[in-house]
Amino acid sequence: MPEIIASAYQHPLLSPEDLQKIAASHQRETIEKGKMLLKEGETAHAYYLLQSGLVRAYVLDFDGHEITTDFFSDGEIVIVPTSLFQRIPSQETLVAMTDSILWRIRFDAFQALYHSIPGFSEWGRLWFTRQLFAMKQRSLDMIRESATHRYLKLMKEKPQVMQYVPLKQIASYLGITDTSLSRIRKEIAR
């Protein structure tokens, strides 16, 4: 069983046998830089556990500009929950920023595990709880932290992003223009 799966689904209620079953529901997949895992308007039928690489999520602005909504890095779950769990078209697009290796699990397989392994639904609830917390922190950061602080924080938490993502896309994630980000970088380098 791939190490990445065991560590991603770590939970006190999940036995080694449970993990075996969970692992068996995942298929290994690779994707090239620039390719999309999910496009706006499509309905998701699976989510992905990212073994290595970098994936970006974005939505389109009222006038067609991309706004980056998320960066996914090693060990994280690449997913658009609304589309997958409400079975509706996604507003977000998922695109690989580097060649990536991931483990896909289809909705049906997930559903079967969710209702047959108690520890798995516990794990799921915990995952949601943490996601919700992270999103709340992000909203709070938008309110109480300066753009400079948000940039430094992102650099610290996801340094890979700096390496593979154009500033413009980082800027939209931070809620500023690429021009401002450029000035912030200049100021920091001082």
Binding residues vs DNA (CB under 7 A): 146-148, 166-168, 175-186
Contact 36, 91 (CB under 8 A): no
Q: According to CB under 8 A, which residues from 77 to 116 bind a second copy?
A: 81-82, 85-86, 114-115
Q: Answer yes or no whether residue 139 interacts with a second copy by CB under 8 A.
A: yes
Q: Binds 107, which of a second copy, DNA, none (CB < 5 to 8 A, cut-off by type)?
A: none
Q: Binds 21, which of a second copy, DNA, none (CB < 5 to 8 A, cut-off by type)?
A: none
Nearer CB in complex with a second copy: 7/86: 86
Of residues 1, 32, 36, 133, which one binds a second copy by CB under 8 A? 133
Q: Answer yes or no whether residue 10 interacts with a second copy by CB under 8 A.
A: no
Using a 10 angstrom Cβ sphere, with 0-12 exposed, 13-18 middle and 19 or more buried, the burial of residue 41 is: exposed
Contact 30, 103 (CB under 8 A): no
Nearer CB in complex with a second copy: 1/135: 135
Distances (CA, A) of 137 to 58, 67, 133, 134, 170: 19, 19, 6, 5, 18
CA-based nearest residue to 68, from 148, 169, 140, 146: 169
Q: According to CB under 8 A, which residues from 152 to 181 bind a second copy?
A: 172, 175
Q: Binds 178, which of a second copy, DNA, none (CB < 5 to 8 A, cut-off by type)?
A: DNA
Of residues 43, 98, 121, 180, which one binds a second copy by CB under 8 A? 121
Contact 30, 101 (CB under 8 A): yes
Q: Binds 180, which of a second copy, DNA, none (CB < 5 to 8 A, cut-off by type)?
A: DNA
Nearer CB in complex with a second copy: 107/164: 107
Using a 10 angstrom Cβ sphere, with 0-12 exposed, 13-18 middle and 19 or more buried, the burial of residue 48 is: buried
